[in-house]
Structure 1
Amino acid sequence: MGNLLDPAALDAAIENVHRAGMPGLFAEVRDGDQVWRGAAGVADVATGRPVTAGMRHRVGSITKTFTAAAVLQQVESGQIGLDTPISRYLPRLVPKERGDAITVRMLINHTSGLAEYLPYAYPSLKAFPYLPDTGPQSLDDHRHTWFDPTELIEMGVTAPAVGTPGGTPGLYSNTNYLLLAELLEQVTGTTAEQYITRNVIERAGLRDTELPTGPYVDGPHSLLYEAWFGMIDPPRDYSVYNMSWAIPAGSLISTVADLNRFYGMLLAGKIVSPSSLAQMRRTVPVVSQEGKTIDYGLGLYPMEGPGQGIFWGHGGTVWGGGALAMIRADGKRQMAVAVNMQRWNRLDSSGRPQAHPIDDALATLYRVAMYG
């Protein structure tokens, strides 16, 4: 199973994603002690400034693994019960009967039945993302909006339920992770951001990772180009953005090296205990925001390759940027990839994304990175 890294194949695969239309991307792949880092394309299409493998990047929902790990630490210390109703901790945020039926575990694995707040906070997106009448106007309206998390939670809680608590398939919803942040604050007496920074980010020794407080990405970084299914043409830069719409669910800034370090330590039982890790790897079917049914654990999900075992990790997107980080179950092989454009697929007349050469090129890069 130990295919050693093939730098030439990785260089070619990353270059092909750029050739297929991605402005810039960068990655780190590890196999035991071997490390390959690569980058292709530009961080700024106007100046031609190149991307580099060490850039800091908004990594979107990869944040959820950090938040889930923080909650599990509090489960280990007896402050939170994984199968305790959320009403026990946050009676005002989730009304009684519903709060009694939704457990902490259901929030972490998206089986709470709570709706996504995004289409309410960002009305032009509609039922993001697949409706013919979706549009990007809200992205510009809210570039500098400071959202109150309890107001976002209320949007998700008062919206029609998307399932019964504990029922499967669950439906992926950021509302769940905003509630987990409130839960952390309730039991630790500090903000979720401070708790996660101290007990997850710093515990893992991540020097280039942070939950940002302002709209800027500090340090060397790429611009982030949002195409919104071809409706923003040419794609527009959203690298400066107030991320309060997603703090514990999607605001993390990191590097590909830090992401690999984090998942390596997580799977080695150094962030949460082995028994917590076993809980994180118990999956249920969940429908993703792209409408695909995936197996989802507690802030982690598996990807399977032909005869190569299972990889665990998480992907993420923000306006204009995205990332994917995966580690083989035995901890030996890892990859983290960051891209600087999102939603490059145009929609057909029924509002479904059409295939784009970037899709195949990325799939090939992931395959070479994970399986050699």
Structure 2
Amino acid sequence: MPKPWDFAGLNAALENVHRAGMPGLFAEVRAGDHVWRGAAGVADVATGRPVTVGLRHRVGSITKTFTAAAVLRQVEVGQLGLDTPIGHYLPRLVPGERGDAITVRMLLDHTSGLAEYLPFAYPSLSAFPDLAKTGPESFDDHRFTRFEAAELIALGVAAPAVGTPGGAPGVYSNTNYLLLGELLEHVTGTAAEKHITQDVIERAGLRDTGFPEGTDVDGPHSRLYEAWFGMIDPPRDYSIFDMSWVGPAAALVSTVADLNRFFRLLHAGKIVSRSSLEQMRRTVPVISQEGKLIDYGLGLHPVEAPGQATFWGHGGTVWGGGALAMIRADGERQLAVALNLQRWNRLDSAGVPQPHPIDQALAAFQQMAMYG
């Protein structure tokens, strides 16, 4: 049985992240039967309303783990083949040789070679064209824009390929997971968000997790402040936003308690089978959106520290909001944390994000939460 940890130390570490410049954050840490929940800072900088640990929150790309689980469940019942070409199912979206070469597995682990539709190099092929010059203006231009998945996928397919199908390293791309959403709808006859809700979220008994029906986060939640590398000063609230720009790739709303429950059930073989979980844990090298080389599986990635146990999970960011959910490989320790400020690092003359006190404080909290 894991020993209880220093609750006061975790509270202090969380408070240090707030003092370093994070408006507000909240977390749940579990070790065996022991549970710690904490919050620090404010949910609204104008009113001073405090954050609380039960708030609902946009969790970004943690959504990909839910989508991947829904796909694996269709593989289990024989509706999909992991190594079947996507062109077999969706020839109009990925036509020709690419459709024949890119498999379902390659979409799940980002080795398809399909480019991101939010690129920094091709304004004409971007849902947010100002990002190509690292400008934030498109955020306001498209706050209420309703995107269709097919048009975003078309942008990614039309952009220059970022690799060959199945080649290493892969390149992280939301285009892959929008395609998986279209694939789920194709084989189930139900819109991806509804199917994931019924087959994964409800199966896991998650009461505070779901896809937003409008532009707001339903229920108690924090405002979400986007700094965009210091170009939005003071940071602006983007908690109201049409999330069709990411859909089944990153639109989910959840709580830290629900995230921990989901990953606990997933790794216990209660969402997908044990054999499917092993497939999810088969990793390949992938270049992340931050340009770092990481190991990535099928909607999961590992976090390892020298001499420490391996954790599995996912992180996520949207405009203004961020989250991380991880579980130790043996299932005995978990962390879920949510943040209400993103892109706090300023860029140097070469466009490289510079260190910020939040980085060190957040790393210290995560180290304490995950490893004690």
- TM-score, normalization: structure 1? 0.97
> What is the rounded CA distance, in whole Å, between the counterparts of 2:134 and 2:330 in structure 1?
42
Cα offset, 1:5, TM superposition: 2.5
CA distance in 2, matches of 1:301, 1:139: 29
Q: State the distance in 1 between where 2:3 and 2:16 align.
A: 22
Q: Which runs of 5+ in 2 are unaligned?
A: 120-125
What percentage of aligned pairs have identical amino acids? 77
Match in the other structure for 1:124:
130
Q: CA deviation at 1:3?
A: 4.6
How far apart in 1 are the matches of 2:99 and 2:7?
Answer: 51
Give the match's secondary structure for 1:118. Answer: coil
Tell me which amino acid in the other structure corresponds to 1:255.
Answer: T
Contact 1:59 1:251 in 2 (8 A): yes
Alpha-carbon deviations, 1:244-292, whole Å to 9, x = none? 0001000000000000000000000000000000000000000000000
Q: Distance in 2 between matches of 1:181 and 1:222?
A: 28
What is the rounded CA distance, in whole Å, between the counterparts of 1:74 and 1:205 in structure 2? 19
| Partner residue, 1:210 | 210
Give per-residue Cα distances to partners, 1:63-85, cap 9 Å, x unaligned: 00000000000000000000000
Q: What is residue 76 of structure 1 aligned with on the other side?
A: 76
CA apart distance, 1:162:
0.3
Distance 2:222 2:205 in 1: 24
Aligned pair count reads 366
User: Aligned residue for 2:362?
Assistant: 362
Q: Is the 8 A contact 1:107 1:176 kept in 2?
A: yes
SS in 1 for 2:199: helix
Contact 2:13 2:361 in 1 (8 A): yes
The within-5 A match list for 1:85-104 is 85-104=85-104
In 1: Cα distance, 2:33 partner to 2:308 partner:
19
1:115 and 1:295 map into 2 onto residues whose CA distance is 19
Aligned to 1:251: 251
User: What is the distance in 1 between the residues matched to 2:301 and 2:134?
Assistant: 28
| Separation in structure 1 between the aligned mates of residue 148 and residue 71 of structure 2, nearest angstrom | 21
Counterpart for residue 36 of structure 2: 36
Q: 2:140 & 2:52 partners in 1: Cα distance?
A: 28
Q: Quick one: distance in 1 between partners of 2:5 and 2:80?
A: 42
Contact 1:3 1:371 in 2 (8 A): no
- C-alpha separation in 2, matches of 1:6 and 1:334: 15
Residue by residue, what CA displacement relative to the aligned partner does 1:49-95 show, whole Å, maximum 9, x if unpaired?
Answer: 00000000000000000000000000000000000000110010001
The one-letter code of the counterpart of 2:169 is P
Question: Aligned residue for 2:228?
Answer: 228
In 1, Cα distance between equivalents of 2:350 and 2:61: 27
- CA distance in 2 between counterparts of 1:86 and 1:3 reads 48
Partner residue of 1:18? 18
**1:130-177 deviation per Cα after TM superposition (whole angstroms, max 9, x unaligned):** xxx411000110000000110000000010000000001000000000
How far 1:9 moved relative to its partner?
1.0
Q: Give 3-state SS (helix, strand or coil) of 1:299's partner.
A: coil
Q: What residue in structure 2 maps to residue 281 of structure 1?
A: 281
Correspondence for 2:6: 6
Matches within 5 A, 1:1-372: 2-119=2-119, 120-126=126-132, 133-372=133-372
For residues 192-224 of structure 1, the C-alpha deviation after alignment (integer angstroms, 9 at most, x for no partner) is 111100010000000000011210001110000
Inter-partner Cα distance in structure 2 for 1:150 and 1:116:
14
User: In structure 1, how many angstroms separate the alpha carbons of the residues matched to 2:131 and 2:342?
Assistant: 14
Structure 1 Cα separation of the partners of residues 101 and 314 of structure 2: 27
Contact kept? 1:17, 1:362, Cα under 8 Å = yes
Alpha-carbon separation, structure 2, partners of 1:102 and 1:292: 23
Secondary structure of the equivalent of 1:121?
A: coil
1:96 deviation in Å? Answer: 1.5
Distance 1:260 1:222 in 2: 19
Note closer, same or farther for the CA distance 1:262–1:28 as it changes in structure 2 (3 Å cut): same
Q: TM-score, normalised by structure 2?
A: 0.97
- Name the CA distance, whole Å, in 2 between partners of 1:3 and 1:235: 40
Q: What is the RMSD of the two structures over their aligned residues, measured on CA atoms?
A: 0.8
Q: CA deviation at 1:2?
A: 3.2
Q: Write the letter of the residue equivalent to 1:109.
A: D
Code of the aligned partner of 1:105: R
Letter in 2 for 1:299: G
Q: Contact between 2:2 and 2:32, CA under 8 Å: does it hold in 1?
A: no
Cα distance, 1:30 vs structure 2: 0.3
Mind listing any 5+ residue stretches in structure 1 that lack a counterpart?
127-132
